[in-house]
Amino acid sequence: MKAVILAGGKGTRGRPYTDYFPKAMTPINGKPLVDYIVNYLKSFRFIDEIIIISDYTGLGGQIKNYFNDHHNRTKITFVQDSQMGTGGDLLHIEKNLKSETEFILWFVDNLCAIDLKKMKNTFKEKNSIVCIATRTKRKEETGFAIVNDGIITEFQEKPRVTLPMAECLGIYICGIEIINRIKEKGKRREINLSFDVLQSLSKEKKISAYDIGNIDWLDAESPVTLERNRTTVKKIIKQMGL
């Protein structure tokens, strides 16, 4: 099974830092974010190749240089991004996936020790075209209060709350059929996987959800976010076994 890491985003939420390095290279304890994701994916025996999509003609070149210098590259393939959105990127690697029945899709700004084996089982059991990691509980970053008639009767500092809807995370398992679904959208300048493809698949009930439960997940959008959530980052990396 192959895992695809999407690392071609412009990282606008991480500016001004991402004017100088791609989001994938955001440092965590002396190593870039993408290094942790690659090593975590390698820990699953059923993953035999990792494909990293980025703009290697621009700042993404730092990703390739890093792995050339620091890693055994036997399981890593670098593919230039399509500049045609997330859907376009998957079409761009169709030939890399020709022998696959399904693949993992991991957006590089997601940090989570998700159990991919259990997620893969959910994908198959639900007979889905796509399985999306979700969560229904979230630890808040601010204090909350219970208010009755303008009076606070209870205060909770950074509680873990139950969300009214499941939050979709940027970790998917996709059946190879997703490629044909993207092709059905015709030739466009940009194809967004979520807006252009997943919306219609959800109406066909072809998307399953894998709830990560109480394990932590972090949107690693910028160095500031990682620094502010230093304790959570440390906890996730430990859960990853790294």
The model's pLDDT over 45-82, given as tens digits with 9 standing for 90+, comes to: 999 999 999 999 888 999 999 998 776 656 899 999 98
Other residues' Cβ atoms within 10 Å of the Cβ of residue 21: 18
Short-list 141, 111, 106, CA closest to 29: 111
Q: State the residue for tokens 């998957």.
A: 90
- Crossing angle of the two packed helices 33-42 and 61-70, in degrees rounded to 10: 60
CA dist., res. 192 & res. 156, Å (int): 39
Mean pLDDT of the chain: 90
Other residues' Cβ atoms within 10 Å of the Cβ of residue 29: 11
Structure confidence at residue 110 (pLDDT): 96
CA dist., res. 70 & res. 59, Å (int): 18
Structure confidence at residue 71 (pLDDT): 61
CATH number for the domain spanning 66: value is 3.90.550.10
Answer for the pair 161, 144: CB distance below 8 angstroms, yes or no.
yes
For residue 159, the surrounding DSSP H or E stretch is none
For residue 152, the surrounding DSSP H or E stretch is strand 151-157
Question: Please, what is the Cα angle at 107 between 63 and 114, to 5 degrees?
Answer: 110
Q: Which domain holds residue 74?
A: 2-239
Task: Enter the pTM of the model.
Answer: 0.90
- Low-confidence stretches of the chain (pLDDT beneath 50): none
Copy the structure tokens of residue 92: 């761009």
Structure confidence at residue 242 (pLDDT): 86
The β-bridge partners of 78 are 52
Residue-wise pLDDT tens digits, 11-33: 556 556 666 678 899 999 999 99
For residue 73, the surrounding DSSP H or E stretch is none
CA dist., res. 10 & res. 175, Å (int): 27
Q: Which amino acid is at 20?
A: Y
Residue 92: alpha-carbon gap to chain centroid: 19
Specify the number of domains making up the chain.
Answer: 1
